[in-house]
Amino acid sequence: MATQSPFPFLDTLADRIGQAWQPPAWAVKETHRRIVLLLNHVLMQEPQARARLARQRGRVVLAAWRHFEMRLMATPAGLLDLADPGANPDLTLTLTQESPWALAQTALRGEKPEVRIAGDVQFAAEINWLVDHVRWDLEEDLARLFGDAPAHTLSQGLQTMATALRRFIARVPGGAGAQPSSAAGGG
């Protein structure tokens, strides 16, 4: 069952902005570079993930959602790099959920979004393994910047905020798990 946005005008607005305004190519490329840096930072903390990705070296994955696309290539070091924009993808992963609202709800519930997969099955299995097993240890990175105690406090605060946001989303009309107002309890 598709989740409807309680604010359908936001979906319409996002569509119109996406169609009418395209960021400059340099901004897209720099954003892609920053995403690759973050992904590689996370991969550097997982030797098994790098070993799995190294076996797929030279292969290109195209990740797409709506009018956004990003091509990534597995490197011999088991990391990721931006692939040539004209590179033929070995694997195409397309998020099928069009609504940014519904996609955000799925992410906040900790679920994987629905993805249409086309291409190399083995490469898709490796990417799926990475998604299932590799996690960013944000608290560890915060500890490098601020020390252990402040990092733990910040991490706990962020987890509390995320939990509260998940509960709020579940109660919003049209949100997953939303109950009719007569059945909703306080607190």
Concatenating the DSSP letter of every residue in 78-141 gives S-EEEPPTTPPPSEEEEE----HHHHHHHHHTTPPPPEEEEE-HHHHHHHHHHHHH----HHHH
pLDDT at 179 over 50: no
Q: Which residues pair with 65 in a beta bridge?
A: 68
What was the pLDDT predicted at 131? 87
Confidence band, pLDDT 50/70/90 cuts, at residue 1: very low
Q: The whole model's pTM is what?
A: 0.68
Q: How far is CA 157 from CA 49, 116, 150, in A?
A: 29, 35, 10
Domain 25-135, classified CATH 3.30.1050, yes or no: yes
